[in-house]
Amino acid sequence: MLFQMDPTLWFILWLILATIIVTLVLYIAVLLIVSKTKASDKKFIIILVAFIVVLVIPLVLGVIRTAFGIFDSIPWSDGNYLQLLIPIIGFLIILILVKFLLDVAWDNSVWISLLTLFILFLLYTLIPGLASFLGFEL
């Protein structure tokens, strides 16, 4: 009975699970890289950043991928290499979110963002239904 649920309910279940996993990764990363007090002071902001990273960033990157897809039809071009920039743009968005919402130094935010991006790619690889529902391709 459990596996016969509506796809929307599966999506919400995986979204909640992915947000919890990314929240734990962000919390542990801030705890280890920055400080214990910063992690405990910014609990709700960490949850907000995790939700944005799991749900909003793939949507934004899907829109950017669609916009870059316009350049596929250029006749003198060998290929559209702009779409290879999508993970880099995603990393920069995560970096800016971590830097300004969690209020950490740039060097610490780079490491936290790299770890978060790695875990996020792992989640979207292990749960392909979540990424395909959001229209985000790796």
- Tell me which residue range forms the domain holding 64: 2-134
Q: Which residue has the higher pLDDT, 2 or 12?
A: 12
Does the pLDDT value for residue 134 go beyond 60? no
Count CB neighbours of 131 within 10 A.
21
C-alpha–C-alpha distance, residues 97 and 52, integer Å: 9
Classify residue 68 by burial, with Cβ atoms within 10 Å: 0-12, 13-18, 19+: middle
Question: How confident is the model at residue 110, as a pLDDT?
Answer: 93
Reported pTM: 0.77
Percent of all residues in the chain with a pLDDT value above 70, rounded to a whole number:
86
pLDDT band, very low/low/confident/very high, at 135 (cuts 50, 70, 90): low
Q: What pLDDT digit, counting tens, does each position of 91-122 carry?
A: 899 899 999 998 889 999 999 889 888 888 88
Q: What pLDDT digit, counting tens, does each position of 40-79 carry?
A: 888 899 999 999 988 888 889 888 888 888 877 777 667 6
C-alpha–C-alpha distance, residues 13 and 78, integer Å: 41
C-alpha–C-alpha distance, residues 51 and 105, integer Å: 22
Number of domains in the chain: 1
